[in-house]
Amino acid sequence: MPVARQTPQEKIYAVIRRIPHGRVATYGQVAALAGLPRRARLVGQALRSTPDGVEVPWQRVINAQGTVSPRGGLGWEEGYQRHLLEEEGVVFSKSGRIDLDRFGWDPEKRPPRPKKLPR
């Protein structure tokens, strides 16, 4: 039986679904992890054209400067993305940047194990 190949968009969505709550990844990082190096713009295009019913935590993808990318609309989208990230515990500086060293997703790093309660 032939194996179905994933489209670039499906690969991108699969990577974004792996970004943990309270972490962010850049468009370029998502592209590289999806096997599409130097295709950061394709990540943005995939997110803009996400089909109805496809669930991806889109708010966790930001630009390489650690900021929410402007979308050219009325501006509410950027504020909504920031709100969703702040609800996840992501902190923005006064200039609107996210510290990627602190909140950036490292897929190679295992999440800390929950501490056992004393008996």
CATH number of domain containing 58: 1.10.10.10
Do the domain assignments include residue 2? Answer: no
Do the domain assignments include residue 112? Answer: no
Confidence tier at 75 by pLDDT (50, 70, 90): low
Distance CA 42, CA 100 (A): 21
Q: Is 81 helix (H, G, I), strand (E, B) or coil?
A: helix
Q: What is the pLDDT of residue 116?
A: 62
Lowest mean pLDDT among 23-27, 49-53, 75-79: 75-79
Do the domain assignments include residue 51? Answer: yes
According to DSSP, the residues that pair with 61 across neighbouring strands are: 25
Do the domain assignments include residue 111? Answer: no
Largest CA distance in the chain: 55
Do the domain assignments include residue 78? Answer: yes
